[in-house]
Amino acid sequence: MADISRNSISQPQFQLYDMETWERAEYFHYYMDLIKTRYNLNVNIDITGFMQVLKEKNLKFFPSMLYIVMRTVNTFREFRTCLDREGRPGYWNFCNPSYTVFHKDTHTFSDIWSPYSEDFHTFSETVVADIARYGDVKGVKGRGDRPENFVPVSSLPWLSFTGYGCDTYSDSRMILPIILFGKYFEQNGRMLLPFSISVNHATADGYHSSLFLNTIQKNCDEFAGE
């Protein structure tokens, strides 16, 4: 496995955009106020080498992939952009994952969260410990006191999907991305992972989302030392 650890991150800080100089100010207002738009992109991520490392190192799939996702989120400002309590746009210096755990006895889920660390092993061990501690807590919110700097991530391990979309029927002020990955499968000797991101167009265009998805692939490859 390649060395993808980094130093500890700082405390969460929210930086407002200067609407006079922010290059996306016009686009933000256009897609927030005039034509409210979210879009979804779905791709297959090649995790062949990634899975081999997990097997060799006896690492768990979910916390490892969650690390890849959050490392990528925290690379791009566009995917840490949100609104403050007064509705003003800005961005966090980093985000934590808010993710779902499944209850086999009731076939329901709960949201829990874990603090992000740039160090892979620290992050993975924290996620494993948090799932053990909060994984049996029932209700929509399995762990309280979720920090404001979060990005929602879900897994759908029962289905190798080819498309995914999500929407709300109210005027949501939630403009952070929503990320989902599914059941990995083998095709032509490669292991592929269905991966989807739902993006508010006010924060990012197709160019930025393409960079994000390509970096997911790059980070998987680096994890495998490829």
Residues taking part in catalysis: 201
CA atoms within 13 A on the CB side of 166: 16
Q: Phi, psi at residue 204, to the nearest 5°?
A: -155, 145
Point out which residues pair with 109 in neighbouring strands: 102
Pairing state between β 108-113 and 150-156: unpaired
Is residue 103 classed as helix, strand or coil in its secondary structure? strand
